[in-house]
A and B are shown apart, each in its own frame.
Chain A
Amino acid sequence: MRARGLTVLGGVTFAAVLAALYMALIDAPPERFMGDLQRLMYFHVGSAWAAMLAFFMVFVYGAAYLFTRRSAFDRAALASAEVGVFFTTLVLITGPIWARPVWNAWWTWDPRLTTTLILWFIYVAYLLLRGSIADDARRRVAASIFGIVGFLDVPIVHFSVTWWRSIHPNLISGGTINMDPAMTRALMVNGVAFVLLYALLTWLRTRLEAAREEAAQLRHRVYERIADRPDERERAGRNSESDIS
């Protein structure tokens, strides 16, 4: 079950991550006031972009599942949500590390921070909800609806929190980017690398989920066979007894 596409994507992602690391850590100049600390931005912003994409895809896959009822879409939504929560966790960890020396606080109630935190809560709830519904069909429908509603909630959360307060650096204002070109380049390459990483991880996780579902089905069929044939059931019973002793 080797997919050629996966190998190619793995290779490309590996190269992109190496290039991103080189550009972020060596090629880009240190920032005038923050020094090397500012290099955290490349990973912080990169994972934030990947996380946004991931949650958008949960919405898309959820809608696609509800229209087509193909379980592959649901597996992709699950994978996307898990990878998205992982990247959001990275954002929420690198953020305070960067903010503590620069803003002199681990946490502030800035719109983007608050939105990211709420986003994290919504999608952790999404994963927990999935985990707590045993029935396959009902879990898929519930998760798809939750993924759609959760994503629709994101802009409202963002606007309401923006009206509440604001200190996040606005790097992109009025369509122009206020950064050294080498920094911009490094940021873009990191953005691409993180998006590729998102695609790779989601693909792998989707495959894992498909394998897990197939294994569950096979196990179910084995039990059915055993239940049909008394002699095999006896043998299976003996085996399990000897396993215990």
Chain B
Amino acid sequence: MWTAIWAIVQKDVTLEYRRRWLLASAVLFGFLFVVVLGIAYNGKPLPADAAAGALWMVILFSCVTILLRTSSFEEEQKAWYGLLMAPVDRSAIFYGKLVANTLFLFLVELAVTPSFWVILGVPGPASWLPLVVGLAAGAVGLAAVGTFLLFLTSASEGREILFPVSLIPLTIPLLLAVIRLTAASWTRSDDLFVWYAVAGGYLVLFGLVPWLLFELLVEV
């Protein structure tokens, strides 16, 4: 199981390293978004709540693009069938994909987030813990639900639009928690326990549900 997951992660990371343009464009898109936002705010510093919202808009957009792209690479040349025919537990495929997608998302987050305090005048984080936990939990959660929905929408003709349209409502609790954590890291507020709990609970649930449903999921 672990070797299978590791093999898939290695494969995806190698592919992404050789291709490069996908992650680079996602990061570039983030910077462009920040620049447009700076223009709209007329050079004034962005309030922490608005900044947190904007940051997660960028991350959501990158998530949708990266996940849709990586999965359609899998369908070119029918590489997907090769994966499904591998003599391993099928949920290993899911978790391999999940780990790879989490890595990509986290890389984009790390590259884009500093531009908020460099360009937009958001004060540097007052406390690092909620920021880092928020970014990590967001990456894992979006990758988990996203990977799950990629399988679920694989037969759909309107996948490019239906994927984000189903991803966002399903991840609302997670988004709520990580956006609050991000905003709190900029303004320093206490009593964040509940948001750590929501993010944690959400990750446990959506980390396990796909494992239970996976045999059905590959039927789609």
Residues in chain A within 8 A of chain B (CB atoms): 66, 118, 121-122, 125-126, 128-129, 132-135, 137-139, 141-142, 144-146, 148-150, 152-153, 156-157, 159-161, 163-164
Give the docked Cα–Cα distance between A159 and B217 (Å): 28
How many whole Å from A107's CB to the nearest CB in chain B?
16
Give the docked Cα–Cα distance between A244 and B86 (Å): 54
B4-12, B23-31, B132-140, B198-206 - the one binding chain A? B198-206
Q: Give 16 A-B contacts (CB < 8 Å), ordered by A residue.
A: A121-B165, A125-B166, A126-B166, A128-B165, A129-B153, A133-B156, A134-B155, A137-B219, A139-B155, A141-B216, A141-B219, A142-B153, A142-B156, A157-B172, A160-B172, A161-B176
Contact: A125 with B169, CB < 8 Å?
yes
Other than the given A145-B216, A149-B170, A156-B198, 14 more pairs (CB < 8 A) read A66-B216, A122-B166, A122-B169, A125-B162, A129-B152, A132-B157, A141-B220, A142-B153, A142-B155, A145-B213, A145-B217, A146-B166, A149-B213, A156-B173
How many whole Å from A114's CB to the nearest CB in chain B?
8
Contact: A129 with B166, CB < 8 Å?
yes
**Chain A to chain B: the 9 pairs with minimum beta-carbon distance, closest first:** A160-B173, A121-B169, A132-B158, A138-B155, A125-B166, A132-B156, A142-B220, A122-B169, A156-B173
Give the docked Cα–Cα distance between A157 and B158 (Å): 26
Residues in chain B within 8 A of chain A (CB atoms): 148, 152-153, 155-159, 162, 165-166, 168-170, 172-173, 176-177, 180, 194, 198, 201-202, 205, 209, 213, 216-217, 219-220
Contact: B205 with A156, CB < 8 Å?
yes
Contacts of B156 in A (CB 8 A): 129, 132-133, 142
Contacts of B176 in A (CB 8 A): 160-161, 164
Contact: B162 with A128, CB < 8 Å?
yes
Describe B's contact surface by its main secondary structure: helix
Contact: B220 with A138, CB < 8 Å?
yes
Contact: A118 with B155, CB < 8 Å?
no
Contacts of A146 in B (CB 8 A): 152, 166
Give the docked Cα–Cα distance between A176 and B166 (Å): 38
Give the docked Cα–Cα distance between A133 and B157 (Å): 6
Contact: B173 with A157, CB < 8 Å?
yes
Give the docked Cα–Cα distance between A121 and B162 (Å): 12
Q: Which residue of B lies closest to A148 (CB)?
A: B213
The one of A122, A134, A144, A153 in contact with B157, judged by C-beta atoms closer than 8 angstroms, is A134
Give the docked Cα–Cα distance between A137 and B220 (Å): 8
Q: Which residue of B lies closest to A119 (CB)?
A: B169
Give the docked Cα–Cα distance between A188 and B153 (Å): 40
How many whole Å from A128's CB to the nearest CB in chain B?
6
Contact: B165 with A125, CB < 8 Å?
yes
Contacts of A122 in B (CB 8 A): 166, 169-170
The one of B170, B173, B220 in contact with A150, judged by C-beta atoms closer than 8 angstroms, is B170
Give the docked Cα–Cα distance between A181 and B155 (Å): 53
How many whole Å from A148's CB to the nearest CB in chain B?
8
The one of B155, B205, B219 in contact with A152, judged by C-beta atoms closer than 8 angstroms, is B205
Q: Which residue of A lies closest to B167 (CB)?
A: A125
Contact: B194 with A152, CB < 8 Å?
no
The one of B152, B159, B165, B168 in contact with A145, judged by C-beta atoms closer than 8 angstroms, is B152
Q: Which residue of A lies closest to B219 (CB)?
A: A141
How many whole Å from B182's CB to the nearest CB in chain A?
15
Contacts of B170 in A (CB 8 A): 122, 149-150, 153
Contacts of B157 in A (CB 8 A): 132-134
Give the docked Cα–Cα distance between A160 and B202 (Å): 10
How many whole Å from A4's CB to the nearest CB in chain B?
37
Contact: A160 with B177, CB < 8 Å?
yes
Give the docked Cα–Cα distance between A153 and B176 (Å): 14
Contact: B173 with A135, CB < 8 Å?
no
Give the docked Cα–Cα distance between A135 and B157 (Å): 10
Give the docked Cα–Cα distance between A134 and B170 (Å): 24
Give the docked Cα–Cα distance between A163 and B156 (Å): 36
Give the docked Cα–Cα distance between A144 and B166 (Å): 14
